[in-house]
Amino acid sequence: MIPRWLEPLERLVESGGVVLVVIAVVAMLLFTLSLERWWYFRVTYRHHRRQLIERWMQRSDHLSWSARTLRETWTRELIARLRRPLPWLKLLVALCPLLGLLGTVTGMIAVFDSLALSGSGQARSMADGVARATLPTLTGMAVAVVGLLFTSRLEHIIRREDQRLHDRLARAVEESHA
């Protein structure tokens, strides 16, 4: 007898195999990282951006080569912090379809194994086994598509913020010299 709170996990394993549980864990990691990036962008990043602009405005020199190099270094560091988990997100997105394929292959092996033992006269059980075997692929693809949407949106936000940060710093220099 398993605890009541583990029953959904048991049904998940019954319906799609252990690989489906692994896909669920990868999905939780993916969506946790995504939520963390959303929080970082909405709260922490904006605070750091404001501090960078204030630090830049406190400088007396804005036009020399060394000042422009320093500005570029500061902006790169800030954008790099925003971009930091992007490779991990991309890895998790790429892993989902592969895990789904692994689940399908292992499920089909189980179907063929049961056919070899029981004979080929049970088309209904074979269809049920094939449906169970393809569930991990469907799940892996669905998680990957949602993760890909978030990853591409995050890349768009990073490019936009990089441009906006450069524009704001340049505008701040123009306003201070006007």
**pLDDT tens digits for 50-97?**
999 899 888 888 888 898 899 999 999 999 999 999 999 999 999 999
Q: Which domain holds residue 156?
A: 17-177
Q: Provide the domain count of the chain.
A: 1
* Residue 82 domain flag: yes
* Residue 6 domain flag: no
* Residue 86 domain flag: yes
* Residue 57 domain flag: yes
* Residue 4 domain flag: no
Can you state the percent helix, strand and coil of the chain, rounding each to 5? 90, 0, 10
The model carries a pTM of: 0.80
- What's residue 128's pLDDT? 75
Stretch 30-40: mean pLDDT, rounded? 93
Amino acid at the residue 148: L
Distance (Å, whole) CA 75 – CA 137: 41
- What's residue 44's pLDDT? 92
DSSP label of 84: T
* Residue 92 domain flag: yes
Distance (Å, whole) CA 107 – CA 4: 27
Shortest CA distance to 160 belongs to which of 86, 83, 87?
Answer: 83
Question: Tokens at residue 79, please?
Answer: 């954008």
Distance (Å, whole) CA 21 – CA 154: 27
* Residue 5 domain flag: no
pLDDT tens digits, 108-148: 888 787 777 776 667 676 777 787 888 899 999 999 999 99
